[in-house]
Structure 1
């Protein structure tokens, strides 16, 4: 957790200010240094004669602390979308308000859908008509026959049998006529028999030709019906595509959430006109957010993707935001000398909001030894405008200017001013001055 003290500690790294403050503290404490002038001896005597202050003390301890890079930045939405309806129209309903949480697919607004409903009904009627025509043509053909062979149709097979019989009759008549011709050379048949045999051949050949014509006509008819079926199937496909388009047009009259999130803005109201080229709603996802951080260019070599990050915001001081570096911008801001990085962090309780300010630590995976003391031992001195602490020297309290670091629960890091093992005073600080006698509380 990043404390206010931690965020202010950088102010004490200005050498000129330090020199001025140390000179001021030295001049303020010089009368207590034990000079030999009568006036200073008198003041020392007064300090010696002061009543001891009862205090509680504890030794400053050394702890290993994680090294890190300090950065600051802003929370931003990881997924943010300005959504618009798929078709133009007049808004008839806005079922969700700004700030409402929605799931993916929830309706955000509805447009007037009367015309779209009528077009869908027309498309469905045309589809039903096309399907009926296809079924009628398909019923005349052999079901399930692929590829289609018109010769296997019942009427084609009957015509083919009739053609075969007619051709057989024609062949028989021709053979009979040939036999009669041979017999006629020896005058073994009469002229009347020859004429009858010739007439039988002509009749049989005519019947064969007629059977052939009928068979060919049936085949052509079946092929035409097959072509008609293909056309009918194409008309059915076109009708189904028209129904799909009409259904899409009807669905476009309802604007739905593309992902789960919260409604950030609504740009249209009931009765207004909405169009695909103008955003109607703005939606943000809050389950995951990104931290857009800025850090000094001098730390660029120590940043890497996947690096662990801990951050805090003043809105929720007790909340530790944890995430990892996902993006390191390739360019450094030449004016500010800052490098931008992005950190993805979970937000399961949806407490955090885009736009919040954060302070962050990019953990380096290395530790350093720090002196740690209770927060109660450190306070800000109004006259010195610095953090101070009282330490025990013998039986007296000595005022120290300290540089503080990160707060750790009830403790705080002391970067300078107090050493490991020195006893710091925790109570009655308001009653103490530098050099005052003390008693330990029991």
Structure 2
């Protein structure tokens, strides 16, 4: 900050007249000085997944490699499909057989089937009807004493057997209907297994690791690829315990990353616990990265604006001089210029905050290196930067 050497300030000798200083001055005033909390952290991928496959078999083709960009639906790995295609054909044949057994034609919905109208049931129903007709005739002959008791009992027995066979036929049809459902499920599973022989991307990502090669035999769930999503990154930073209560979701944050233009974001997540070792609080912020310019793992510095409307006394850095190990400004009191010790705060660009030593309305020299004990000329003090901005608006 200091632009002057640590030389003692000139003092007025007895009978000496102070020189008249024709220098530029400014009137101290409060201005908006947003309160900022600083943090350090790194960028992490929005999603990171180690992919496996739902079937086992021999890898026939690997479609991607390290660093490849994949979109939704892009094939990643293909398992040899011959065995799975045969299983689909087998399931289709078994389903067709059980459908034919109850009279369903290809394409007929299962709901169309009425058990009473199926061929097996109709056959047994016809036999029962015949037995019932024979029983009615036998009853007439029995009443006329034309038929003996043994013969009549035999006709009654035939009718009961026919009725039981019809009921059994209905139960058999219902069992076959249930079997059709089972075979349809087996076919669906066979088709699903065939579909699962090709591993596809489910979200836009970049291949971070490739863990398999063509010809490898893999089992269900074996790790094959590691994908990371970096079109959106997560900045994870920390703030010290003393500032943790000032952090809130939605607060704007400015990220400074080496060799990359400044990025802006908002606080999206805050950890419910402080780290016991570092006594710091972890938070996250989403960083849009549609062109994938940023890489996961980059170091970043964050500036979180916790109070955008905070007011403070701010002066140009050129107004401050270091003298005798302290920071001072040249202050005009009743037209006389003298040094005033100040306590400095944060510096931003070419301005610095004054914590102690000045009050709104004080007049100081704009350029400290022009200062020396003396009296001001009749020139009016210049307004501060805040007052100039207010005048323009």
Larger Rg: 1
- The 1:96/1:55 distance shift into structure 2, 3 A limit, reads farther
Q: Pick from 340, 343, 368 the counterpart of residue 284 of structure 2.
A: 343
Give the deviation of 1:282 after TM superposition.
1.6
In 2 relative to 1, CA 91–59 (structure 1 residues): closer, same or farther, beyond 3 Å? farther
| Counterpart residue number, 1:215 | 159
| Offset at residue 363 of structure 1 (A) | 4.6
Cα pair distance change 1:211/1:304, threshold 3 Å = farther
Counterpart residue number, 2:187: 243
TM-score where L is the length of structure 2: 0.70
Superposed counterparts of 1:185-334, under 5 Å: 200-202=146-148, 205=149, 208-286=152-230, 288-300=232-244, 302-303=245-246, 306=249, 308-315=251-258, 316-329=260-273, 331-334=274-277
* Secondary structure of the corresponding residue to residue 126 of structure 1: helix
Work out which of the residue numbers 160, 171, 176 in structure 1 matches 2:132.
160
Relative to structure 1, the CA distance from residue 231 to residue 99 in structure 2 (aligned partners, 3 Å threshold; closer, same or farther) is: same
Q: Deviations over 1:222-241 (max 9, x none)?
A: 23323432443343333223
Cα pair 1:60 1:424 within 8 Å, conserved: no
- CA shift for structure 1 position 312: 0.8
Aligned partners of 2:336, 2:263: CA distance in 1, in Å? 42
Residue 373 of structure 1 and its aligned partner are, at CA, apart by 5.0
Query: Partner of 1:92 in structure 2?
Result: 60
Q: Do structure 1's residue 360 and structure 2's residue 302 form an aligned pair? A: yes
CA displacement at 1:163 relative to structure 2: 1.0
> Partners of 2:337 and 2:52 in 1: how far apart?
74
Structure 1 alignment gaps of length 5 or more: 1-11, 13-20, 42-47, 175-199
The answer to whether the Cα contact below 8 Å between 2:132 and 2:159 also exists between their aligned partners in 1 is yes
1:115 to 83, 97, 105: 83
CA drift of 1:295 comes to: 1.9
Q: CA deviation at 1:359?
A: 2.7
Q: Quick check: 1:116–1:250 contact (8 Å CA) kept in 2?
A: yes
Q: Per-residue displacement from partner, 1:347-398 (whole Å, max 9, x unpaired)?
A: 26355443222333455458432234568x58999xx999x99878789999
Query: In structure 2, what is the Cα distance between the partners aligned to 1:229 and 1:99?
Result: 58
TM-score, normalization by structure 1:
0.63
- Partner SS state of residue 102, structure 2: helix
CA distance in 2, matches of 1:272, 1:117: 20
Instruction: Output one character per residue of 1:185-216: Cα deviation in whole Å (capped at 9) or x when no partner.
Output: xxxxxxxxxxxxxxx243xx465334323322
Question: Contact 1:305 / 1:328 at 8 angstroms: preserved in 2?
Answer: no
Q: Secondary structure at the match of 1:128?
A: helix
Alpha-carbon distance between aligned partners in 2 of 1:380 and 1:257, rounded to the nearest angstrom: 62
Matched, 1:29 2:7: yes
Q: How far apart in 1 are the matches of 2:197 and 2:164?
A: 50
Contact 1:108-1:256 within 8 A present in 2 as well: yes
Distance 1:29 1:402, change over 3 A: farther
Tell me the residue number matched to 1:124.
92
Which secondary structure state, in structure 1, belongs to the residue aligned with residue 45 of structure 2?
strand
Task: Give the number of equivalent residue pairs.
Answer: 362
Aligned 1:45-124 pairs, distance under 5 A: 61-124=29-92
- Cα distance in 2 for partners of 1:344, 1:242 equals 47
CA distance in 2, matches of 1:273, 1:284: 25
**Aligned residue number for residue 371 of structure 1:** 313
Aligned-partner Cα distance in 1 for 2:225–2:254: 31
**Within 5 Å, which residues of 2 pair with 1:179-190?**
none
Unaligned ranges ≥5, structure 2:
106-111, 380-393
Question: 2:45, 2:234 within 8 Å by CA — same for their partners in 1?
Answer: yes
Compared CA separation, residues 214 and 269, structure 1 to 2 (3 A): same
Select which of 348, 353, 357 maps to 1:414.
353
Question: Cα RMSD over matched residues?
Answer: 4.9
How far did residue 167 of structure 1 move? 0.6
State whether residues 23 and 370 of structure 2, in contact with CA within 8 Å, keep that contact through their aligned partners in structure 1. no
